[in-house]
Structure 1
Amino acid sequence: MNRRKFNAAGLAAILTPLPRLTSAETTVSEHHGYQVAAINSGLLTAQHSGMAHSQGAVDDDTLFQVASCSKTVTALAVLTLVRDGRVDLDAPVNRYLNRWQLPGPRGAAATIAELMSHTAGTTVHGFQGYGPTDGLPTLHDILIGRRPANSDPIRSRRRVFGRFKYSGGGTMVLQALIEEVTGTDFATYTTNAVLKPVGAAHATFAITPSRPFAHGSYENGQPLDGGFMRHPESAAAGLWATASDLAFLFHAVLQALTGARHAIIPVALAERMVTPVSQRAGLGVFVSSGPTISHEGRNLGFDSIVAADLNTRQVRAAVTNRNGAIRSYTEQLLAD
């Protein structure tokens, strides 16, 4: 994905008022669909259209793979550990890892905050997932690049001036951190510490959700074999969610920034989360002019985007089960 091109169209569009769909627009395609959600003045509105798969239509509760938007959940999970005094953001991550240590020239020095802002110099940009008949690797397999993992080993490299380098591999180191510090699996901790508290009632890190979910398709409309790629790389790419779930997630960050009662993290941590470190990367979010915070995601068959305006406190999110469909949809919104 061309991240800059997607942001230019996607962020501008989803932060404009959403038009009401007409009856002629209620079916986007016979093969794919979407959800959009907005939060204004604390009130949620949602729309949906199209097909989840050949046997069923999308509704407001249909789950979509939201790919790299998983990283915002991971960042909030880490920040709850900081909130509770269990980890130090600026401490080397290896201080908390026993079963595996981040190797490489900067392994001993790479901090938790650097991993969250993609400035630790870690390898592995992203993950392609696993088909319906592929074996699934464990977290340790993914970290060391051992079969059946289909990605390279995760390690640190030398970096220049703390420069940004997007790394899903670094986010998987954070998954190892969360599991070691909490003594529980990543999905359980993030569900209880992040997803439930922010109101993302349907979101799940299950490999195959128990709730109804969409099947993905490529840009040319060809459906994925088996409906979706499986992602054991939960922290980096494994979340299933609705557009409303994503909107609630970013609304929780806005609430934390104002010091709202029962906010998921304190103001100081929320402010640090939305402060750019390098190339507009904050901690689990990207920060653009406006200012807005955002994240986007692409797995094979699925695209997602979510953004919040820090001044107007407006939140927008969109998900689709066809690669490239969000880009054309948001461009259509810009033209309306």
Structure 2
Amino acid sequence: MIAALSLVAASHVLNRLETKYYIAGAVRPRYTLAERMRHYRVPAVSVAVINDYTVVWSHAAGLRDVASKTPAATSTLFQAASMSKPVAAAGILALFEAKHLNLDADVNTMLRSWHVPPAPGNSSERVTMRRLLSHSAGINVHGFVGYDRDATLPTLVQVLDGTPPANSEAIHVVAVPGSATAYSGGGTSIAEQLAVDATSEQFPEFMRQTLLGPLGMTDSTFAQPLPQALWPRAGDGYYADDRPVHRGWHVYPTMAAAGLWTTPSDLATFVIAIQNALRGRGEPPIDTTVAREMTTRA
């Protein structure tokens, strides 16, 4: 059965990619993966397919390093960018459940190394972990551009304060917490600092122990910079005009917001853990409570 599903998945991904929209009455366009990669000038793609709570097929195409003509493999590590956020959120929710911490408490009562500056105005609403993870805490800074591998890196506290060598503005409350949803990598970085303060662990080690290890996501890490031992497996980055990113990739001290290196198969493992928990078959670190918190609108 798995073998048959693998063949079907392979056929669809490699030879039958379809556009979401097409002209009524016209033949729906179909493309091969290679055609779409050329069209969008994407040097490498890695894919994993889930069916019935199982990864049934994985595949990599193209070059992880164009200059050396090194092929991509299913074990090639890619920067997950903002897909780091839900993985980090699951780890933080598991921490709160294990330590019986209150998702609706003022985070300043738990932060030690840094505190959220007082909000403007006289609102009694507080910045809470539930609001940070649901992007409803009223925090600024949409995202982070990262740092050149040769650059001096800021600490997370320097990023939160917006002080050199951080290249982003200070993180603070700009709207009444709970009043609206506005995407905020800054808010995710506050959540990261709280996890570090609550565990006295560096964030990559906290995530390895709390989530990645227990789920068997052995091809994933939040380590920033990427450890040298993993450089040969890293997929290089390229701009839209085909220029390579200097030295291959950027570094993200804001690990929870953008620091995950992973593979599609590991991300699929994470998704399956949530699916299983939501159908009553979850276990720590992603049990039913954590999965429901992750999928319930705040």
- Whole-Å Cα distance in 2 between the matches of residues 198 and 248 of structure 1? 7
Q: Say how many residue pairs are matched.
A: 261
Is 1:50 paired with 2:62?
A: yes
- Whole-Å Cα distance in 1 between the matches of residues 216 and 50 of structure 2? 13
Is 1:148 paired with 2:141?
A: no
Describe the superposition over 1:193-227 as per-residue Cα deviations: whole angstroms up to 9, x where unpaired: 11122221111112224321110001121111111
More divergent stretch after superposition (156-165 vs 124-133): 156-165
- Whole-Å Cα distance in 2 between the matches of residues 145 and 208 of structure 1? 23
Q: What amino acid does structure 2 have at the position aligned with 1:83?
A: E
Is contact 2:163–2:170 with CA below 8 Å preserved after alignment? yes
Describe the superposition over 1:109-139 as per-residue Cα deviations: whole angstroms up to 9, x where unpaired: 1111000000000111100011132110011
- Whole-Å Cα distance in 2 between the matches of residues 132 and 261 of structure 1? 39
Higher relative helix content? 2
Report the Cα offset of residue 263 of structure 1.
4.3
**Residues 48-87 of structure 1 aligned to structure 2 (within 5 Å):** 48-54=60-66, 55=68, 56-87=70-101
- Whole-Å Cα distance in 1 between the matches of residues 92 and 53 of structure 2? 25
Is contact 2:136–2:179 with CA below 8 Å preserved after alignment? yes
Is 1:208 paired with 2:226?
A: yes
Large movers: runs of 4+ above 6 Å = none
Describe the superposition over 1:145-204 as per-residue Cα deviations: whole angstroms up to 9, x where unpaired: 110000111111233862001100000001111001111111001011111222211111
Higher relative strand content? 1
Unaligned runs of 5+ in 2: 1-7, 16-31
SS in 1 for 2:46: strand
Describe the superposition over 1:71-103 as per-residue Cα deviations: whole angstroms up to 9, x where unpaired: 111111111112213421111111101221111
Superposition TM-score, scaled by structure 2 size: 0.81
Q: CA 1:80–1:184 in 2, change beyond 3 Å: closer, same or farther?
A: same
Q: CA 1:251–1:31 in 2, change beyond 3 Å: closer, same or farther?
A: closer
Is contact 1:33–1:58 with CA below 8 Å preserved after alignment? yes
Q: CA 1:21–1:84 in 2, change beyond 3 Å: closer, same or farther?
A: same
Is contact 2:131–2:178 with CA below 8 Å preserved after alignment? no
Is contact 2:125–2:176 with CA below 8 Å preserved after alignment? no
Report the Cα offset of residue 20 of structure 1.
4.9
**Residues 181-192 of structure 1 aligned to structure 2 (within 5 Å):** 181-192=198-209
Unaligned runs of 5+ in 1: 1-15, 278-336
Residue 281 of structure 2 corresponds to which residue in structure 1? 260
Is contact 2:282–2:288 with CA below 8 Å preserved after alignment? no
Q: What amino acid does structure 2 have at the position aligned with 1:216?
A: G
Residue 261 of structure 2 corresponds to which residue in structure 1? 240
Q: What amino acid does structure 2 have at the position aligned with 1:208?
A: L
SS in 1 for 2:191: helix
Is contact 1:31–1:53 with CA below 8 Å preserved after alignment? no
- Whole-Å Cα distance in 2 between the matches of residues 101 and 136 of structure 1? 21
Is contact 1:104–1:157 with CA below 8 Å preserved after alignment? no
Residue 251 of structure 1 corresponds to which residue in structure 2? 272
Q: CA 1:38–1:62 in 2, change beyond 3 Å: closer, same or farther?
A: same
Superposition TM-score, scaled by structure 1 size: 0.72
Residue 11 of structure 1 corresponds to which residue in structure 2? none
- Whole-Å Cα distance in 2 between the matches of residues 224 and 244 of structure 1? 25
Structure number with the bigger relative contact order (C-alpha 8 A, sep ≥ 6) is 1
Q: CA 1:160–1:76 in 2, change beyond 3 Å: closer, same or farther?
A: closer
**Higher Cα Rg: structure 1 or 2?**
2
Is contact 2:84–2:257 with CA below 8 Å preserved after alignment? yes
Q: What amino acid does structure 1 have at the position aligned with 2:288?
A: V
Identity among equivalent positions (%) equals 34
